[in-house]
Amino acid sequence: MWLETLLCFKEFFLYTFFSLIIWYILYRRGAFNTVGRIKHYLLVGIGIVFPLVDVIETKLALENNYEGNPLVIWCISNLPNGYGWNLFILIHLIMSALAFCLGWIGKSEENMGPRATLAFLDIFCVFVVTINALLMKLYGII
């Protein structure tokens, strides 16, 4: 029973697993030890914009009856009176605000933890948005 439930969320686990692998390789190479101004602005910009891009992609996918993430489908369809969609947007707005906050905290050279967390959030968002865009392109939605 619980294994079937976990298999429903295999996409989420795969996205997280591959994001962690990429993040760990970057962490071991010391990519977060120093921060340049352009690199920092790029990390913060990706962290703020890509959750909002994911909302747009999900809206397009739902309008065309394609959405591969069972957590999103359950959340949007089972919560009453559109609360699922509102919760989905709220979570993505919180992710954008978190990226801004982590970018603000991680500006100084000493704060490697917030930069590393922001980088993981960015890698995860880029991975999800890219895979969703590729799947939507394959299925002819975009």
Q: Can you spell out the DSSP letters for 30-43?
A: TTTTS--HHHHHHH
Return left, alpha or beta for 79; rule: phi > 0 is left, psi -120 to 50 is alpha, else beta.
beta
Residues 6+ apart with CB under 8 A from 134: none
Has residue 79 been placed in a domain?
yes
pLDDT for residue 7: 64
Has residue 5 been placed in a domain?
no
Question: What is the pLDDT confidence band of residue 67, given thresholds at 50, 70 and 90?
Answer: low
Has residue 115 been placed in a domain?
yes
Has residue 14 been placed in a domain?
no
Has residue 30 been placed in a domain?
no
pLDDT for residue 71: 65
Between 94 and 12, the higher pLDDT residue:
94
Q: What confidence tens digit (pLDDT) does each residue in 71-101 have?
A: 677 667 777 777 878 888 898 999 999 999 9
Residues 6+ apart with CB under 8 A from 117: 102
Has residue 114 been placed in a domain?
yes
Tally of domains in the chain: 1
Has residue 12 been placed in a domain?
no
Has residue 74 been placed in a domain?
yes
Against a cut of 0.85, is the pTM above it? no
Its domain, for residue 134, covers 36-138
